[in-house]
Amino acid sequence: MTWDFYKNKSLFEMSDEEWEALCDGCGKCCYRKFIEGRGKNSKLFFTRIACNFLDLKTGLCSEYENRFKLNKECTHLTKKNVKEFSWLPETCAYRLLYENKPLPQWHPLVSGNKNSVREAGICIEDAVHEKDAGDWEDYIL
């Protein structure tokens, strides 16, 4: 696998290894969200409440291989359903490439530095695990 594979392939042409490499490790997809209202009046709220399996320091899932068995709410992002995930953060490589936008300079595939996401301040600060959170509205970003 070359590091610039994403420049020459669509999401749908990528191997499983390439697909996985797109994840920058910010962990934002593992944070809880909720919708208030209905239809045109609905609003999506992001929180700093993380799934209990998310390592808040590394942004990686501690149960990655078994995450779908252990957490029924875990999102399974695939080539077949990527178009349904417009709620992904605007910085997410899957979303950016699906929208034909370039990856940011801090993305590890661009920077060549796996720590560039944290160094750029992309990760959510002051995160808490779901088990430690109270009223979700107190944790809205």
Average pLDDT over residues 6-22: 93
What pLDDT is stored for residue 1 in this prediction? 63
Phi and psi at 39, nearest 5°, equal 60, -135
What pLDDT is stored for residue 8 in this prediction? 92
Write down the number of H helices and E strands in the chain: 6, 3
Q: Cβ(103)–Cβ(97) under 8 Å? A: yes
Phi and psi at 14, nearest 5°, equal -75, 145
Phi and psi at 116, nearest 5°, equal -65, -25
Collapsing DSSP states into helix, strand and coil, what is residue 88? coil
For 59-92, the pLDDT digits (tens) are 889 999 999 999 988 988 999 998 888 888 899 9
Determine the residue type at 1: M
Interacting residues of 135 by C-beta distance below 8 A, sequence separation 6+ = none
Q: What percent of the chain has pLDDT above 70? A: 99
What pLDDT is stored for residue 34 in this prediction? 84
Q: Residue 22 carries which DSSP code? A: T
For 19-73, the pLDDT digits (tens) are 999 999 898 999 998 888 888 888 888 899 999 999 998 888 999 999 999 998 8
Higher per-residue pLDDT: 15 or 85: 15
Q: Return d(Cα 122, Cα 64) in angstroms, integer.
A: 21
| Entry pTM | 0.86
Please name every residue paired with 61 in a beta bridge, in sequence order, or none if there are none: 54
Look at the alpha carbons of 44, 128, 71, 66 in this order and tell me if their dihedral is positive or negative. Answer: positive
